[in-house]
């Protein structure tokens, strides 16, 4: 009898609780206990402290840490002079960046990792620091009001409720510069992915509507030297784009045309139109207006490319698209739409032959291509 009791006690400990009376319940309790033991709050800890990592990255970019130590590396004593920091912050910043995988220590000195050296050193062709700076300077504080935005369905990016984020940016030259530089950081990556995914060799000219810095045009022409492109955007934006295009040595192949796609017709003569990270900013009715203008500007057989962070059709992800929709709640009137929603608008407009192509890039996860009959 004592032996049976010991076995019972051992089994009870194995399932983490009091033994149930029926075999069926015993299995259920065992499975439940095992599941409870497998759960951990660590994923929640990572979510709750994600802004610590971003703040560390943003501070390092703001101080231009990675550019300044790109060649020789540094230590805490040197960093004090290099960035004008007291001893404790200098040491902590280096440790923080090392912990994030942005710095590595060799022979007592901190050096950029390959990731930081490729994307966080100013002057590199695929510099990503502009996007980090924009989020830090323009969006970090408004996120504190996300609950207000959700409850009211009104943007909280600024106190002026009559203007959205894009309109507010357009009124401030410096803020617009920060935004365009940030979009260039994203678009130069996505532009390369689009140029690899879409066969521009069978096309004559690309019209990039609301093309910002011209990154997509630059990457398309780089990959297809016989190809021409035209960038359509507002005059202040084009001043920045012209400089980027000139730096790439492509001024002869990439033209710029000033205009507003809501108030003016789009230039004709291009057999391919790109809408890159445009439609998520706006509500469905405005998006239909933009698509109709694209349809009218294209010749028969012309193609339209929608490049976005596409939501899955079940609207459960992927995380980057879902979280950008949260950003739109804070800053603008749009959200991230599903592949099917875009296809429905294209069908309403008159486009045919849709093709979905996934992308691996930080700015867009896919392109949807359709054609004018």
Of the candidates 228, 201, 213, 210, the one whose C-alpha atom is nearest the C-alpha of residue 293 is 210
Return d(Cα 332, Cα 41) in angstroms, integer.
33
Looking at residue 7, its pLDDT comes to 40
Looking at residue 340, its pLDDT comes to 98
Q: pLDDT tens for residues 267-315?
A: 999 999 999 999 999 999 999 999 999 999 999 999 999 999 999 999 9
Looking at residue 163, its pLDDT comes to 54
CB 355 within 8 A of CB 368: yes
How does strand 366-371 pair with strand 303-308? Answer: antiparallel
Looking at residue 125, its pLDDT comes to 83
- Please tell me whether the overall predicted TM-score, pTM, comes out greater than 0.85 for this model: no
Looking at residue 214, its pLDDT comes to 92
- Could you say which residues of the chain have pLDDT below 50? 1-25
CB 56 within 8 A of CB 100: yes
The β-bridge partners of 258 are: 233
> How many Å is the Cα radius of gyration of the chain?
26
Cα–chain center distance at 311? 13
Of the candidates 303, 307, 181, the one whose C-alpha atom is nearest the C-alpha of residue 240 is 181
* Active-site residue identified among 111, 184, 280, 371: 280
Residue with tokens 């398309």: 220
Domain boundaries, the chain: 48-122, 190-371
Q: For 131-146, give the DSSP string.
A: HHHHIIIIITTGGGGH
Two domains, one topology: 48-122 and 190-371: no
Looking at residue 32, its pLDDT comes to 62
What phi, psi does 371 have (nearest 5°)? -130, 150
Residue with tokens 């203007």: 163
Q: What is the CATH number of domain 190-371?
A: 3.40.50.150
Catalytic residue at 280? yes
Determine whether 219 is exposed, middle or buried from the number of CB atoms within 10 Å of its CB (0-12, 13-18, 19+).
Answer: buried
Q: pLDDT tens for residues 318-361?
A: 999 999 999 999 988 899 999 999 999 999 999 999 999 999 98
**Strand runs labelled E in the chain:** 103-106, 109-112, 205-209, 228-233, 254-258, 272-276, 303-308, 352-358, 366-371
Contact residues for 110 (Cβ-Cβ < 8 A; gap 6+) = 69, 73, 74, 75, 94, 97, 98, 103, 104
Pair of tokens at residue 114: 């390959």
Q: What is the CATH number of domain 48-122?
A: 1.10.10.10
Determine whether 100 is exposed, middle or buried from the number of CB atoms within 10 Å of its CB (0-12, 13-18, 19+).
Answer: middle
Of the candidates 345, 263, 268, 337, the one whose C-alpha atom is nearest the C-alpha of residue 307 is 337
């Amino acid at each position: 009898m004592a032996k049976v009791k010991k076995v019972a006690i051992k089994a009870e400990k194995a399932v983490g609780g009091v033994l149930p009376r029926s075999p069926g319940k015993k299995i259920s309790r065992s499975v439940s206990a095992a599941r409870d033991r497998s759960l951990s709050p660590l994923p929640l800890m990572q979510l709750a402290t994600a802004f610590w990592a971003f703040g560390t990255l943003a501070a390092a970019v703001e101080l231009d840490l990675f550019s300044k130590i790109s060649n020789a590396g540094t230590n805490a004593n040197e960093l004090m002079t290099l960035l004008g920091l007291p001893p404790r912050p200098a040491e902590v910043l280096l440790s923080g960046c090392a912990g994030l995988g942005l710095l590595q220590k060799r022979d007592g000195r901190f050096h950029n990792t390959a990731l930081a050296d490729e994307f966080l050193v100013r002057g590199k062709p695929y510099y990503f620091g502009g996007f980090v700076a924009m989020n830090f300077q323009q969006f970090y504080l408004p996120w504190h009001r996300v609950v207000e935005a959700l409850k009211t369905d009104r943007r909280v990016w600024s106190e002026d409720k009559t203007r959205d984020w894009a309109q507010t940016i357009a009124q401030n030259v410096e803020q617009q510069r920060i935004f365009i530089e940030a979009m260039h950081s994203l678009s130069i990556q996505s532009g390369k992915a689009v140029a690899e995914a879409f066969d521009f060799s069978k096309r004559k000219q690309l019209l990039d509507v609301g093309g910002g810095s011209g990154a997509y045009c630059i990457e398309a022409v780089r990959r297809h030297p016989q190809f021409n492109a035209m960038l359509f955007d507002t005059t202040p934006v084009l001043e920045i784009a012209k400089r980027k295009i000139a730096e790439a040595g492509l001024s002869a192949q990439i033209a710029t045309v000033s205009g507003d796609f809501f108030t003016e017709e789009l230039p004709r003569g291009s057999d391919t139109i790109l809408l890159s990270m445009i439609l998520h900013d706006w509500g469905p009715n405005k998006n239909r207006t933009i698509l109709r203008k694209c349809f009218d500007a294209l010749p028969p057989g012309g193609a339209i490319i929608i490049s976005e962070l596409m939501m899955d059709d079940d609207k459960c992800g992927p995380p980057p698209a879902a979280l950008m929709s949260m950003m739109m709640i804070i800053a603008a009137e749009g959200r991230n739409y599903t592949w099917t929603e875009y296809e429905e608008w294209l069908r309403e407009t008159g486009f045919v032959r849709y093709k979905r192509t996934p992308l691996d890039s930080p700015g867009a996860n896919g392109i949807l291509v359709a054609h004018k009959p």
